[in-house]
């Protein structure tokens, strides 16, 4: 196959630290091993992509690497019985963009067991807008539902509400009939968040500092992308019998809290992993997204950029200057 353009990250002389990414001409043979090659039409930018492009330690763990953890595209060649040329596919996570070359290239070579057929109800651009962030938001909602959380029990607090996971979570929860409390560091986005279905918009500063180990009950459940003090404060203020779905660590990996909410209020902490989630769970999540995500709201919280602009947009995302979802047009 002819050369094509890719964003390329190599290691320094130590072989462990990433050098700044650069655009490079590569061939399929330079990509990670896989039994399916895909023409990448769309991708997106997640928090992890931003960290990878910024050279954060521990994100890219194999070199050279093409970053981009979300692939949306069309099968070019396949040695798998599950896929044939022309099939429309999605891939979220599975170490792509970290240990397996990813989406910020015209072509990706991928493992068939990691690929999902794109639902026909979702255009390629909308599938990219959902991406890992939106799919993770759905996993969080499903985790709360499995635990028994219902709209009648009270509101759901959502941290990082202006970001990818938070904005999609609010949209889904709103459509399902939940009252939502959106926490954000960008109160200028209040009208936007309310247009997605947020019942109330509050300053994230209420959660971001170390708080009391046991607070007043304020919500039936929560979706958290931050970790650290934010997660501890969400747990401390969850109603009796409630639950918190934790899927991120934007504020930090630590959790300085108390066991009191777990013991005295029977609060549950539900861990949500999107990277290695089994295929059956992924298929369920996408079926639910087609059903329970208002696609008009998805469009309203999405912005389209070109592949050449991913580095600039990723830097803004890490600074908290990007709301909603970014669709990257690759083809």
159 belongs to a structural domain: yes
pLDDT at 62: 95
- pLDDT tens column, 230-245: 999 999 999 999 999 9
Containing domain of residue 136, as a range? Answer: 132-271
- pLDDT tens column, 185-230: 999 999 999 999 999 999 999 999 999 999 999 999 999 999 999 9
Q: Domains in the chain: how many in total? A: 2
CATH number of the structural domain spanning residue 202? 3.40.50.720
Q: Among residues 271, 288, 318, which one ends one of the domains? A: 271
Listed in sequence order, the DSSP H helices in 63-162 are 124-147
One domain for residues 8 and 87:
yes
One domain for residues 103 and 221:
no
One domain for residues 58 and 90:
yes
* Angle (nearest 5°) at CA 196 between 195 and 200: 80
One domain for residues 198 and 323:
no
One domain for residues 231 and 102:
no
> What number is the average pLDDT over the span 79-84?
98
232 belongs to a structural domain: yes
One domain for residues 266 and 177:
yes
One domain for residues 166 and 188:
yes
290 belongs to a structural domain: no
Q: Among residues 250, 271, 292, which one ends one of the domains? A: 271
One domain for residues 17 and 100:
yes
- pLDDT tens column, 267-307: 999 999 999 999 999 999 999 999 999 999 999 999 999 99
pLDDT at 15: 85
322 belongs to a structural domain: yes
Percent of the chain whose pLDDT exceeds 70: 100
Query: Residue 247's Cα: distance from chain center in Å?
Result: 9
277 belongs to a structural domain: no
pLDDT at 1 over 70: no
One domain for residues 112 and 152:
no
3-class secondary structure per residue, the chain: CCCEEEEEECECCCCCCECCCEEEEECHHHCCCCCEEEEEEEEECCHHHHHHHCCCCCCCCCCCECCCCEEEEEEEEECCCCCCCCCEEEEECCCECCCECCCCECEEEECHHHCEECCCCCCHHHHHHHHHHHHHHHHHHHHHHHHCCCHHHCCEEECCCCCHHHHHHHHHHHHCCCCEEEEECCHHHHHHHHHHCCCEEEECHHHHCCCCCCCCCCEEEEEECCEHHHHHHHHHCEEEEEEEEECCCCCECCCCCCCHHHHHCCCEEEECCCCCCCHHHHHHHHHHHHHHCCHHHHHHCEEEEEHHHHHHHHHHHHCCCCCCEEEEECC
Q: Predicted confidence band at 172 (pLDDT cuts at 50, 70, 90)?
A: very high
83 belongs to a structural domain: yes
284 belongs to a structural domain: no
278 belongs to a structural domain: no
* Distance of alpha carbon 114 from alpha carbon 140, whole angstroms: 21
The residue whose two tokens read 């779905």 is 245
Q: How many CB atoms lie within 10 A of CB 254?
A: 12
One domain for residues 146 and 49:
no
One domain for residues 45 and 175:
no
One domain for residues 95 and 10:
yes
pLDDT at 51 over 70: yes
CATH number of the structural domain spanning residue 45? 3.90.180.10
């Amino acid at each position: 196959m002819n050369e094509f353009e890719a964003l390329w990250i190599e290691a320094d002389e130590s072989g462990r630290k990433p050098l700044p990414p650069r655009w490079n001409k590569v061939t399929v043979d330079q990509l990670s091993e896989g039994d399916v090659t895909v023409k990448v039409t769309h991708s997106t930018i997640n928090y992890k992509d931003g960290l990878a492009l910024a050279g954060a330690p521990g994100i890219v763990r194999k070199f050279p690497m093409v970053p981009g953890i979300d692939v949306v595209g069309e099968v070019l060649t396949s040695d798998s019985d599950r896929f044939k040329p022309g099939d429309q596919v999605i891939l979220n996570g599975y170490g792509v963009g970290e240990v397996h070359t990813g989406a910020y290239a015209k072509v990706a070579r991928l493992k068939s067991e990691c690929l999902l057929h794109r639902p026909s109800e979702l255009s390629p651009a909308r599938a990219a807008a959902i991406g890992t962030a939106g799919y993770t938001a759905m996993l969080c909602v499903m985790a709360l539902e499995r635990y028994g959380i219902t709209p009648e029990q009270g509101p759901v607090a959502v941290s990082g509400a202006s970001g990818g996971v938070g904005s999609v979570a609010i949209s889904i929860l709103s459509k399902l009939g939940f009252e939502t409390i959106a926490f954000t560091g960008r109160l200028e986005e209040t009208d936007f968040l309310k247009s997605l279905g947020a019942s109330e918009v509050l300053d994230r500063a209420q959660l971001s500092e170390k708080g009391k180990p046991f607070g007043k009950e304020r919500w039936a459940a929560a979706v958290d992308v931050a970790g650290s003090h934010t997660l501890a404060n969400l747990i401390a203020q969850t109603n009796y019998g409630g639950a918190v779905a934790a899927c991120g660590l934007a504020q930090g990996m630590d959790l300085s809290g108390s066991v009191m909410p777990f013991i005295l209020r029977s609060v549950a902490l539900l861990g949500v992993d999107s990277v290695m989630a089994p295929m059956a769970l992924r298929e369920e999540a996408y079926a639910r997204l087609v059903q329970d995500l208002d696609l008009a709201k998805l469009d309203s919280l999405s912005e389209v950029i070109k592949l050449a602009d991913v580095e600039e947009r990723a830097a803004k995302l890490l600074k908290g200057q990007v709301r909603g979802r970014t669709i990257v047009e690759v083809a």
